[in-house]
Structure 1
Amino acid sequence: MARTALVTGGTRGIGAAIAKKLKAEGYNVAATYGGNDEAAKAFTAETGIATFKWSVGDYEACKEGIAKVEAEVGPVDVLVNNAGITRDAPFHRMTPEQWHEVIDTNLTGVFNMSHNVWGGMRERKFGRIVTISSINGQKGQFAQANYAASKAGDIGFTKALAQEGARAGITVNVICPGYINTEMMSTIPEKVMNEVILPQIPVGRLGEADEIARCVAFLASDDAAFITGSTISANGGQYMA
């Protein structure tokens, strides 16, 4: 019987690549999104993957949404916490609203989603939780105190939860992508890309969303049953932790 995978922020960018990869690997896949109805509709039309709309920062919405996914698609065996936002500003200009928006989505959202699938995974003695953090959660980044804190928190969350899930057959891991060739990167001026960003990356190129998706597919598989509490740095050598 096929396992069910749920990917948050799964209709665009890295999340969409992950959802497509997991479907190709034979999972029943569902994807969540926070606001772009047109993108979600186009994604479902292209892939046949069911999409569900809610804010991962809202615990009750996560509880209700996951119950709907499990009723329509199946019990969640694999959770990919991919949803994330940025609200960049130098710290002296950062507002409490910018801080809380990012923490609520990127860190509290990981708690909200994981907490609402944890009981089922424990009962079934199987689970895979993979969270998408960031290179900036490892090394920090100017004007991203909120984002870096949230992504570093995801790493600490993973290390702690992995210890609790190990005996129950649940693995918990985190992936820290570097610069990935997504729609967001296409807005960066060519001069900045060629003279500032690419020289920082030893392999000399951006990563591809499919490369992150392959990392997720491996961690979700039975082949990765002995890997838990780990951080995979997928950044082309830009930062080695």
Structure 2
Amino acid sequence: EFALSIVKRMNELCKQWSAVEGYHYSVYSTPAESLTDRFNRMDKEKYGVIEGVTDHDFYTNSFHYPVWLQPTPMEKLTFEKDFPYYASGGFINYCEYPCLQDNPKALEAVWDYAYNIGIGYLGTNTPIDHCFVCGFQGDFEPTDEGFKCPECGNSDPDKCNVTKRTCGYLGNPVQRPMVHGRHEEISHRVKHMSGETGRVTLADGETREWFEETR
């Protein structure tokens, strides 16, 4: 309620400015890629490390549920659903999934739920990274520098395709590296539904869950 009250106040100010100046002002709820990093750094320098606020190297985007926590898709969307009404300048809701090619009914259930509670713009993040060296398909493993294939370690931008939702758009962080804070934010994202990836089984039979290491 406190967070929502802040966004409501921002919306009220936009309406006041529009009425006085004759221009349309609105709240834009998807910030520039670099602000995830920069604002966190500035606040950490000014206020120090505050648990749950500045204790990561990034801020979670917009009004979204903290990326390192693990609600269900329905819980996440329910938490976020009221914010877009006060952010007419732009917004996106999204959920993180494992590979759902064998379970499309699960995805349909989330879409139906989102439609019924009034979500206006819903992104579906599901792993489609592809290694052209060993053929692996799924989630590439985050590293300090970027992402690599969990099977063979390939991170050559000419020999793989890595797709991640950056803000409201899709980007390839191997071909176009991101600022540190944005990379950390993406690396900390957990799946909002159980499945085979983030759990991956390597060629030697070892099972790894990347998000359990970064939470």
- TM-score of the alignment, normalized to the shorter chain, above 0.5: no
Name whichever structure is richer in helix by fraction.
Answer: 1
Bigger Cα Rg: 2
